[in-house]
Structure 1
């Protein structure tokens, strides 16, 4: 199904029939990816005495599960600047629009000392002069192991501070990446990339131009079949009044038509 939308005086044709889901499913198995030193999610039926909320147990007409998970450590999630501020801000109040023009870029992190990092020059090269509303970063090599990787104590790649600053100064509002964090796993709480992207210098008193409506989405997985380039991004969250929510970002192929 093809749809035509108008965006900033530019007509765009979008193929809605072939969504590219770049989220990772949340399961209660050992295949679930995990970060930040926690255990796997728990999905289990409610039990009231002899009653079990599971149809296959023969004691209920419905499946009735409790789910215990952490959005930051258990899979694809979208967070707002409330993730790092003393004052409470929720992703549900921060993200009010859900469709954005996005640029998918593939980057192989560079070795600097003992760390693998994504640099400003790599981001600049990947964008190639474009100024999308969202950037989707796929790190290379892009193996299926990301779908079930245990990241704790592995020092995953991360964004250098100047790379995050360049993304902000490029006017990009939404940053999506296939890593558990844009920052170094052990960084003494500095959170340099988070702060640079959201323009937060002091977590107790926000700058007047702190980016309240900007989001970071981590632990995505972009299939190899998706080529680098421009897409329409649908960024959907659950309506949690929390700094972060599990999310389902979906990309759609598009074609730019003649400008009006």
Structure 2
């Protein structure tokens, strides 16, 4: 039985004046996989991901989630549909607590009049859920759920952002350069976290320039070049230098894109 992709894009085009950022690009994400997206700077991979996550509206093409066409006017709409994106800048509020950051934009209010009229937050409930989610992902090295995010290390902040994405029953999590600003030890923890989230059945799109990380965790690698998908390879079939050569055009890419 053929496995159908969970998320697809066909013929996506995005132009900015005379510049074509996405040129009839295709994309496929299968259930339960880690799909790495790699490409040279300016290849259009970020624009493609922004189109999929609702941050950019494509001029042409179609995006389908679970076989149904979707049209996201904003990242909020994509989130409601189950596509969570963790951007490179993490979009965390440093002065707020871990629990407040976990529920940023989705705060839980107290039941009854107090919540409806006075919009009082149900802090104990939010703190409990935040603690449970961080524990599930092995992140309770963070002792105090009420400590400000600015007191955390880079790896812990990334952990909070990934936990937030995983906490809300997402269908897809997109991670933009999750290890870019981290040291070796913290990068290792984030990679373990990515594998842990995948083991819960949530597929992940990993945008990264770090080839060793890509080859370590990805099931398939989408190579983006000149605004479109060039090919899709499996890490076990090619070397890192092959992937870089395809990406830069130094070597012709295999024609058959790899399905699930």
Range of TM-score over shorter length: under 0.3
Q: TM-score, normalised by structure 2?
A: 0.28
Bigger RCO (CA 8 Å, 6+ sep): 1
Write 1 or 2 for the structure with the bigger share of helix.
Answer: 2
Write 1 or 2 for the structure with the bigger share of strand.
Answer: 1
